[in-house]
């Protein structure tokens, strides 16, 4: 199968997922996708990512828009916020088990695409 066909099949599978899935939510805009990568990177590296850091790291996204995106992701259950022990005002962003599972599936699907040119 050609790389183009593999990629097309992958895209169709991804888009066939429920609109309620994290994959659909985090592909709305480049900023949504960037947010997912930041959250999952922090999770993978066992780093604490606080809400304010996430807002700052989201490039080309205003702080009000960043807040709205984070709140929507929380409302949909894709991420949750935990108060830190040292400062109860600071909240750490954590991915949900659903987001972790869907992200792992996404990465595995990407690995299985045949990228070799013909």
Name the 3-class secondary structure at 112. Answer: coil
Q: Which of 56, 22, 59 is nearest to 40 (CA)?
A: 22
pTM of the model: 0.80
pLDDT digits (tens, 9 = 90+) for 42-79: 999 999 999 999 999 998 899 999 999 999 999 999 99
Q: Tell me whether residue 54 is in a domain.
A: yes
Which residue segment(s) compose the domain that 58 sits in? 3-109
Q: Tell me whether residue 17 is in a domain.
A: yes
Which CATH number is 83's domain given? 1.10.10.10
- 51 to 19, 27, 35, 43, 83: CA distances (angstroms): 25, 20, 11, 14, 10
């Amino acid at each position: 199968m050609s790389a183009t066909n593999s990629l097309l099949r992958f895209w169709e599978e991804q888009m066939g997922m429920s609109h309620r899935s994290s994959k659909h939510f985090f592909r709305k805009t480049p900023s949504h996708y960037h947010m997912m990568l930041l959250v999952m990177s922090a999770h993978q590296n066992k780093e604490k990512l606080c809400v304010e850091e996430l807002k700052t790291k989201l490039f080309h996204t205003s702080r009000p828009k960043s807040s709205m995106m984070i709140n929507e992701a929380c409302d949909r259950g894709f991420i949750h916020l935990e108060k830190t022990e040292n400062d109860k005002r600071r909240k750490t962003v954590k991915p949900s088990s659903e987001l972790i599972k869907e992200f792992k599936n996404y990465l595995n699907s990407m690995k299985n695409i045949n990228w070799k040119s013909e």
